[in-house]
Structures are given as C-alpha cells and as structure tokens.
A and B are shown apart, each in its own frame.
Chain A
Amino acid sequence: MQIKVEDKNTVTICYVTGDIDINTAPDIKKTFDRVIQGKKPKVLVNFQSVNYVDSSGLATLVEFLKNIRAYGGKLKLCTMSPKIKSLFEITKLDRLFEIAPAEGDAVTSFA
C-alpha cells in the first residue's frame, strides 16, 4: 500500500495504491491525520488504484470524514471500481460520502 498527497489548486488529493485493510489502515490514518492537522478545506481521496477495502478501511474513512467535518472542511471520494462501490452501498456508506465517478468531476463539484 502506498499513499501520496498532492495539493492541486485548492483541492488536496490523496492517491491511495493497493489494499486498504486491517494491516494498512493504521498507516493510512497517519497520513489522513496530517491532512487534518493542516486543516485542508477541500479533500479528495482517489480510489483509482485501490483493489480492496475492508471494514477497517471503511471505518478509517468514516473517521477521516468526521474529523474533516469538525473543522468545516469537505471530503469527497472518486474513481471507485464497481466492486468497491458496491461495498459502500451494502454498508449504506454511499449515503454518507459524496462519491464522484472521476477526479475531474469531483474537483469541479467542490467549487
């Protein structure tokens, strides 16, 4: 698993590669915590290279959302594979997160 954070204009984009599971979730949380410390107002997590998310990954994302909302920021997710999208639907989390089909859509929707 790798995670890369880039600032593009006003939007902070987290690119995650690999699996988000019980073993990698703690490391991802560390990166997320740095984003939270920077109080970034617009955050996007790109799922393009994510193969698999388990429930600890979902919980880590929920916690991320909670912390971003706490300082009035916004979190969006984008470019999910159908498999991962269906996982969000089963767990009803698709209603909690704003999930955009592509990175461009997500970035423009922030404005």
Chain B
Amino acid sequence: MNFVEAIGGVVTTTYRHIVDVFGLLWDTVAWIIIGPFKRKFPKREGISEQMVFAGIQSFVIVFFVAFFTGIVIAMQSAYQLNKFGATIYVAAMVSVSIARELGPVLTALVVAGRVGAAITAEIGSMKVSEQIEALETMALNPVRFLVVPRFLALIVMLPCLTILSDIIGVIGGFLVGVYNMGLNPYRYIDFSFNFMTWKDVSTGLIKSFTFGVIISIIGCYMGLTTKGGAEGVGRATTTSVVTSFVLIILFDCILTGIFYFSNI
C-alpha cells in the first residue's frame, strides 16, 4: 500500500510540476505577445544583457566542445569507413551528423550547464531573499521582468551558437581529414557541403530553438519555486540542470523521430 501511495505521490507532484511549467511558458509567451501593446515590454538593456551572458560569453566553451567533437567524429568515422575504403565520406559523415544532431544537442547541454544553472541560482537566491516578492510589491511582474528577457535571449542565442558550433565542428573534422588522413582539402569541402542539405541545418536549428525554450523555462521555473535558503538554491540548481539535460535528450529523440518519419 505504501509503495502504491509513494508512486501516486510522485505521479501527482510530477503532474503538477508539468502543469505549472506549461503555465509559466504560457505566461511568458503571453507577455511577449501582449507586452508591447500594454507598453510593458521588458527594456532592451535587460534583454541584451542576458544575450551577452547567454550567448557571447558561452562562445569559448561551445568552441572547444564543438571543435573536439568534430575531431572525434572524424577519427571515429575514419576508423569505420577505412574498412570500406571510403575515407572521403568522413567529410559527409562529420558535416551531416554535426548539423543534424551533435551541434544542437551538445551546444544545448553546454548552455544548460552554464546558463540554465546560472538562471536558477540567480532567480532562486532572489526568491529566498524576498527579492521576488519585492518586485511584485513594486508592481513589477517577475515573469515579465526576469523570465521574458532570459527566454528571448536563449531562443535567439542558442540557434546562433549552434550555427557557430556547426561551423567549428566541421573545421575540426576538416583538420583531421586533411592533415591526418591526407585527404584532398578541396574534395573534403566539396563532400562536406554536397551531402549536407539545407534541411539538415534547419532541423538542427528547430531543435536548438526547442532546447532554448526548455533551458530558459526550466531554469526560471526551478528558480521561482526555490524554497529553503541557500541549501534550497543549491538543490534547485542541481534539479534544474538535471531536468534540462533529460528533457533535451528526450525532445531530441522526439524531434528526430518526427523528422525521420515525416521524411524531412
């Protein structure tokens, strides 16, 4: 009986969290749509500040992750393709798998760890020190004031970072292909782009847009629901990162499935 009760408890709290997360997403989108008409759209400085933090300051770490991933994919596929004597296909392998899959997912995971955690920690510590309540008392809606700028920053900057990471990953693969495996650089580039279609890139960007929504909304939700002092902030931050990671992989799976079966 206790076991059933425990499962029931987990199911109901999870359900409530899901409803609340969608509520927050709805509120955020509503503020973005109706905000300009009510003259209550967040200030530009606030949004650009978040964009600098989420986007530009994430570039270095995204650069390294994408670069080394490109190298690893090139070596890994070379090892396989060598057996068929088709090493030139390394170029296609690297560019397509990075554009469709690894670019968006790895960038999202890096940003979830860096930016998502920071969002939860910042909003969470504002919550436990009554700053969120102070905002409300000043007639400043926390969703408009805190969530909307972070949301906009991530849904714009994450696809941008993904494009950069696609390029850097391909460069990483190129270096391995040309300097290690001795492939002709012109043929390498040719193969990279002939096999990579616009659809590969656009599906990757649709994914990274979705991941941007996930990271910002989960980060803000965990922050706004933080309870119990400094320890609570730590707990919320961990939960935020773990939840974002799981959801990113889950939605990657769902979206890949949709693209696969609908022949996009």
A and B touch in the complex (CB under 8 A): no
Residues of A within 8 A of B (CB): none
Residues of B within 8 A of A (CB): none
